[in-house]
Structure 1
Amino acid sequence: MVVSNPAAAPGAQAARPGAYAWAVLAALCFVYVLNFLDRQLLSILAKPIQDELGISDGQIGLISGLYFAMFYCILAIPVGLLADRTNRVKVLAFSCGLWSAATAACGLAANYPQLAAARMAVGVGEAGGVPPSYAIISDYFPPGMRGTALSLFNLGPPIGMALGIAFGASIAAAYSWRLAFIWIGVIGVLTAVFIWFWMREPKRGGLDAKPASADEPVATLVDATDTPPAADTAAVPAKSPFWGTVRLFFTDPVLLRVSIACAATQFMTYAVLNFTVLFLMREKGMELGDVAIWYAIVILLGVGGGMFVSGRLIDRWGPRNKTAYAWLPAIGLALAVPFFAAFVWAPSWELALVFLLIPTGLNYFYLSPSVALVQEEVRPDQRVVAGALLLLVMNLVGLGFGPTYLGFMSDFFARTNPENSLQLAFYTLIPVYFVAIAMFFWLARALKRSGKEAAA
């Protein structure tokens, strides 16, 4: 029901998403679960893969990091451009089918080159997963609810990691690591078919504030129906030039600095994610069956809790003070440092997991605020490309070089300390925390300056 609200400020809108919007969010979250499950399955099953194919930590780091990220990050830009100009739902569904088929191919690899090629194909498909989802969510949920909606969407990675650990490790322990890849790939293909035929494309910018004339009452949406904002050809905004969006992203101080801060954070988080299971099994005596239960719980509670809590906090604090988008991640990372060091030091896997739970949550205080900030800073017709550019910067640095760096550092220390080479490599990540904190302080200055300019 739409009613007039003459007292509302020009351009103000309020909306309560209907059941269909929440169903779309749940479906997108499930696709993100598969996206991250497929991505992280290699690191979860690194030990049995190493045992069968005879590959080193450095090679694991390359195929889970740089080789994957080259395709995932760079192709996200043209895929984002395509999605901004066509049907975002169809782009998402096709991408999901592609990366799922490539995941199944990983289970058929007979040697390292074949496994590397399959991982690159997974990166090609996953390039079209997250940016269209960000934009679809932003057109199903209005300002003031996007932080919460995106935090719920961002539960996909911890759920995907937890399911990957529980499901993948259990299948590998009972049967083989190959079967885990194949089964998960088949589930993803079936999900892609469902998304293609069920999900409807929302109107771009349909829930964003629009200017109103002085003598025209503002329409306030009191209760949204289950039907998504319909595509209104008469009101479709002009397509933003691609290079104009790129230029805006890399010249705007807020957008540039948030991407650099996220990149520094992800360098550390992806390095940890891709080698923690191998570290716990090889140097702390954890068995694959224990990984399937206890590490899965730590990931689900830690990462999931961190993303959801930060999303709720930024919806509460962000409208009052925009610098909260930077201070919240910085505080989380600062609190995480001593617990991360204790995790690396712990003499047993049980104690290590206790210490790991806290930084696992605090490390992810950056993601929901950062994604929400980028989506709010650009126009509706720029959201997919802006989201893809954010992913390009933070994943090319974080996903591309974080695991690659840690794998090669482990190989380096293995020459003199083969029994604890990964432990020594993990210690070298502690300075990265302070780099990331400094980058969020840098972002806070830009947000404070932009707030003063807007007030003026």
Structure 2
Amino acid sequence: MAGETAATDTGGRRIESAGYRGLVLVMLLLVYTFNFIDRQILGILALPIKEEFQLTDTQLGLLSGIAFALFYTALGIPIAWLADRKSRTAIITISLALWSLFTAMCGAAGNFWQLFLARLGVGVGEAGGVAPTYALIADYFPRSSRAKAMAFYSLGIPLGSALGILLGGWIAATVDWRVAFVSVGLAGLVLAPIFRLVVKEPARGRFDPPQPSAEAPPFRAVLALLRRKPSFWLLAFGASCSSIVGYGMLFWTVSFFARTFALAPITVSQIVGGITFVGGVAGVWAGGWLGDRLGPSNPAAYGRVPAIAYLIAVPFYVTGLLVHNLPVTILLFVVPVALALVWLGPVITAVQHLVPPSMRATASATFLFVNNLIGIGLGPLIIGFISDKLGPQFGDDALRYSILCVLVFYLLAALLMGLASRHLAKDWNR
């Protein structure tokens, strides 16, 4: 990344300095951090919102899941199709402004349905944030450092999630939950024009071998190519199975600690924010490092690394959920939180390598459509639904057993990633 010293791309054109490319990556990370602050702040604010609007766990799961995922997934592919033809930096800027505006509007909601509609709007905005960025990073960094660059960008997940929990908890405790939404939304609106001024649009595919045609193909052509690549679908459904647990845990971990250990909201925000930051940063960076170290010479590693990580994560989560000791639970949660995010660098990099440069944004959006519709749409909802069903029998412990039930999806994710590893070398775009 920042250490790259090559002055030209594969076409002999001069490229930006390593310092500027590092700045671009930092700006993309900052945007992604706001993406996850706005996406996950609802988790720490769930308790006061539930109390004010008298909601069930299923309704909370709908607000975090379907309300966000519906348009986020539906619009992702057409926006990515546009990003393969138009300025990706402009699309990211507009998306940042939109989701920030709707996040601020969440603070004005007067009931469940108004908040539901505002969350739909957040999903509309965020639909154009991630897939164009994946393609942009692939055109700023050569193959030898893409997994680390993707991993650095993906640090926005633990950073944004942790900041959303910490800031949301602090603002909600000192003022109220509505101010938390308005504050982070306005901050994103300030960042949008700064991003547009700093980040330039690079030439497409400039670090890759010459392609027969640089023109972006129609979506049906991208889909036809992906249909012939089983590794893509195995990676997508494997990631979506893991995201059922991952996104479910991102939303419900705050409520789990609050209910299980009877902690104040500000204390919970500090604990869960710390777990998310430490574990998440370690896991994302480890995945990127392993991807760049093992993947270029053995593409199968892009699938095997996350498969092994999921298998190791399950016993740590099970033990952490069943013990009744707060310090032990905190320590045990850090490990699976890290392992659950190892997949990001390797898998996202693999998706970029399965298609030509002119198809990357659309292929990424197709991957995200499967991953997010299933993961974001169902993860928080399934845990909330099971918790409501178990509530009459287990009370506050119902959430604990609900989370235990969904851990089976990590085992399924490991199986699918392992199967994908067998096809990656054959499916590679060369």
TM-score with structure 2 length normalisation? 0.94
Whole-angstrom distance in 2 between the partners of 1:192 and 1:310: 29
Out of 317, 333, 347, the residue aligned to residue 370 of structure 1 is 347
Q: 1:97 to 1:450 in 2, by over 3 A?
A: closer
1:422 maps to 399
Asked if structure 2 preserves the Cα contact closer than 8 Å seen for 1:17 and 1:140, the reply is no
> Partner of 1:321 in structure 2?
298
Do 1:12 and 1:209's aligned partners in 2 also have CA atoms closer than 8 Å? no
Q: How much does 1:448 deviate? A: 5.2
Q: 2:358 corresponds to which residue? A: 381
| CA-CA distance at 1:352 after TM superposition | 1.6
Asked whether the 8 Å contact 1:13–1:208 carries over to 2, the reply is no
Give the match for residue 124 of structure 1: 124
Which structure 2 segments of 5+ residues have no match?
none
Alpha-carbon contact 2:159-2:281 (below 8 Å) kept: yes
Kindly provide the CA deviation profile for residues 80-135 of structure 1, in whole angstroms up to 9, marking residues without a partner as x: 01111111101000000000000001111110000000000000000000011111
Counterpart mapping for 1:13-52 below 5 A = 18-52=18-52
> What amino acid does structure 2 have at the position aligned with 1:150?
M
Taking the aligned partners of 1:72 and 1:322, their CA distance within structure 2 comes to 30
Quote the offset at 1:15 in angstroms: 8.0
Report how far residue 412 of structure 1 moved.
Answer: 0.5
Match of 2:202 in 1: 202
CA spacing shift, 1:122–1:11, aligned 2, 3 Å: same
Letter in 2 for 1:122: V
1:265-276 paired onto structure 2 within 5 Å = 265-276=242-253
Q: Residue type matched to 2:354 in 1?
A: E
Q: Does 1:304 align with 2:273?
A: no
Q: Is the 8 A contact 1:15 1:142 kept in 2?
A: no
Q: 1:253 to 1:194 in 2, by over 3 A?
A: same
**Counterparts of 1:140-219 in structure 2 under 5 Å?**
140-210=140-210
Of 383, 391, 395 in structure 1, the residue corresponding to residue 368 of structure 2 is 391
- 1:348 offset after TM fit, Å? 3.4
SS at structure 2 position matched to 1:109: coil
Asked whether 1:251 is paired with 2:228, we answer yes
Partner AA of 1:142 in structure 2: P
Amino acid at match of 2:401: L
Over 3 Å counting, the alpha-carbon distance change for 1:4 and 1:367 in structure 2 is: closer
Q: Measured at CA, do residues 344 and 309 of structure 1 come closer, stay the same or move farther in structure 2, by a change above 3 Å?
A: same
In structure 2, do the counterparts of structure 1 residues 241 and 280 end up closer, same or farther at CA, with 3 Å as the change threshold? same
- How far residue 236 of structure 1 moved from its aligned partner, in angstroms, is 8.6
Moved over 6 A (4+): 1-5, 10-16
Residue identity matched to 1:110? G
Pairwise mapping of residues 395-414 of structure 1 onto structure 2 (< 5 A)? 395-414=372-391
1:445 aligns with 2:422: yes
The 3 A distance-change label for structure 1 pair 344 and 163 is: same
Distance 1:395 1:12, change over 3 A: farther
Q: Go from structure 1 to structure 2 and tell me whether the alpha carbon gap of 1:89 and 1:430 turns closer, same or farther (over 3 Å shift).
A: same
Number of the residue aligned with 2:139: 139
Aligned to 2:84: 84
* 1:247–1:432 distance in 2 versus 1, CA, 3 Å: same
Kept after mapping to 1: 8 A contact 2:43/2:165: no
The one-letter code matched in structure 2 to 1:187 is A
Question: 1:271–1:402: 8 Å Cα contact kept in structure 2?
Answer: yes
Cα distance between partner residues in 1 of 2:116 and 2:29: 27
SS state at 2:201 partner:
coil
Identity %: 35
Tell whether the 8 Å contact from 2:44 to 2:269 is kept in structure 1 after alignment: no
Distance change >3 Å, CA 392–CA 193, structure 1 → 2? same
Report the CA distance shift for 1:308/1:130 in structure 2 as closer, same or farther (over 3 A): same
Q: Does 1:112 align with 2:112?
A: yes
CA deviation profile, 1:110-164 (whole Å, cap 9, x unmatched): 1000000000000000000001111111111111110010000000010001111
Aligned mates of 1:292, 1:377 — CA distance in 2: 40
Counterpart Cα distance in 1 of 2:87 and 2:422? 37
Q: Distance in 2 between matches of 1:170 and 1:55?
A: 22
Give 1:408 deviation, angstroms: 0.5
- The alpha carbon displacement at 1:416 in A equals 2.0
Letter in 1 for 2:49: I
Q: 1:283 to 1:315 in 2, by over 3 A?
A: same
Name the residue aligned to 1:227: none
SS in 1 for 2:143: coil
- TM-score calculated relative to the size of structure 1: 0.89
The Cα of 1:449 is off from its aligned counterpart by 4.9
User: Normalized per residue, which structure has more helix?
Assistant: 2
**SS of the residue 1:144 aligns to:** helix
Aligned length: 426
- Aligned counterparts of 2:351 and 2:11: Cα–Cα separation in 1: 20
Alpha carbons of structure 1 residues 356 and 2: separation in structure 2 relative to 1, 3 Å = closer
Give the aligned residue type for 1:34: F
User: Which aligned pairs between 1:226-265 and structure 2 lie closer than 5 A?
Assistant: 237-265=214-242
Q: CA RMSD in A?
A: 2.3
User: Cα–Cα, structure 1 residues 13 and 402, in superposed 2: closer, same or farther, change >3 Å?
Assistant: farther
Segment drifting more, 242-251 vs 317-326: 242-251
Q: CA deviation at 1:237?
A: 1.7
Q: Check conservation: 1:286, 1:349, Cα contact below 8 A.
A: no
Q: Secondary structure at the match of 2:394?
A: coil
Query: Shift of residue 294 of structure 1?
Result: 2.4
Structure 1 residue 437, shift from structure 2 partner:
1.0
Change (3 A) 1:200 1:449: closer
Q: How far 1:12 moved relative to its partner? A: 11
Distance 1:436 1:2 in 2: 38
Looking at structure 1, the residues matched to 363 and 397 of structure 2 have their Cα atoms a distance apart, in angstroms, of 41
